[in-house]
Amino acid sequence: MRDRVVVLARATFVEAMRDRMLLVVALFALGMVLFSRVLGWLSIEDELKMVQDFSLSGISCLALFLAMLVGAFSVAKEVERRTLYPLLSRDLTRGEFVVGKYLGLVFATWSCLAGAGIALLLWVAVWGGHPGEALLAALLGLLCESLLLVAVALFLGMLTAPAIAALGTCGFALAARSTEALRELASSGRADNAGFWSFAYQLLPNTEDVNFINATTTGLPIHWEQLLMGAAAMALWSTVFVGGAVVLFKRREF
């Protein structure tokens, strides 16, 4: 089983990396990193902090766009090209297919994010900056967030049309990045249904647990245990969505 999943993951990774749209999105993120220096010159505050903040925001958008492109459209492309049927006619089960697809898409997304992250580290170093642990934590947090985004995109891709799945992934990302607002609403005492909002905050995924972008500009201390707990939460939620994708895929008729 493991060999079949690894082979499929490797093939998915190679196919995703050959996608021209993936290259365009990655180059766009790289351009945002380079353009960040222009905004740094215009900033009245610390230039390098502005460079890091804008670049990390661009890489965060890159993670979302990659999940939308590779996750939501992956299975639909297999069906359209009719490459899915020879795979399922062999010993490969549908569960192995979904897991292999997911792992390959995650590795492809991580490769693009790692490339953009390395470019940012070099860019900061070129301009005399010293990349600290806040920048490293922010980049690691984006990798953790991409685990969940790819899983959600793959799940929605099994559930509905690719374009709708991509929009749904974007909506999910925006909601998961705004979950802290539910906690503030519940704790403010001004909400009529504070208990409901508190329950929703506890239930919904919260990608802010792995978001350390603000720490690069505010100078707040990095709590690595928070990153570890957030990474565990992202992995758990990813398992839930991948499991849901397996269930949906098993019910589909081709």
Q: How far apart (Å, rounded) are the C-alpha atoms in residues 138 and 140?
A: 6
Q: How far apart (Å, rounded) are the C-alpha atoms in residues 94 and 245?
A: 10
Asked whether residue 90 is domain-assigned, the answer is yes
Mean pLDDT score of the chain: 80
Asked whether residue 199 is domain-assigned, the answer is no
CA 115 to chain centre: 15
Asked whether residue 53 is domain-assigned, the answer is yes
- CA quadruple 68, 71, 77, 79: dihedral, nearest 10: -130
Q: Which two tokens stand for residue 216?
A: 């690069």
Segment 64-87, tens digit of pLDDT: 888 888 888 888 887 777 777 777
Give the mean model confidence (pLDDT) for residues 170-191. Answer: 71
Cβ partners under 8 Å of residue 186, min gap 6: 194, 195, 197, 198, 201
- Residue 15: HSE in the Cβ half-sphere, 13 Å Cα cutoff: 22
Nearest one of 213, 210, 215 to 232, comparing CA atoms: 210
Neighbours of 153 (CB within 10 A): 32
Number of structural domains, the chain? 1
pLDDT: which is higher, 169 or 117: 169
Q: Is 70 in contact with 22 (CB distance < 8 Å)?
A: yes
Asked whether residue 186 is domain-assigned, the answer is no
Q: Is 180 in contact with 146 (CB distance < 8 Å)?
A: no
Q: How far apart (Å, rounded) are the C-alpha atoms in residues 121 and 125?
A: 6
Give the domain range for residue 49.
2-163+207-251
Q: Is 74 in contact with 150 (CB distance < 8 Å)?
A: no
Residue written as token pair 């980049």: 139
Neighbours of 235 (CB within 10 A): 14
Q: Is 39 in contact with 49 (CB distance < 8 Å)?
A: no
Q: Which two tokens stand for residue 221?
A: 């201390």
Asked whether residue 106 is domain-assigned, the answer is yes
Segment 26-64, tens digit of pLDDT: 677 667 666 665 655 555 456 677 777 778 888 888 888
Asked whether residue 169 is domain-assigned, the answer is no
Segment 127-156, tens digit of pLDDT: 776 777 888 898 999 999 999 999 999 999
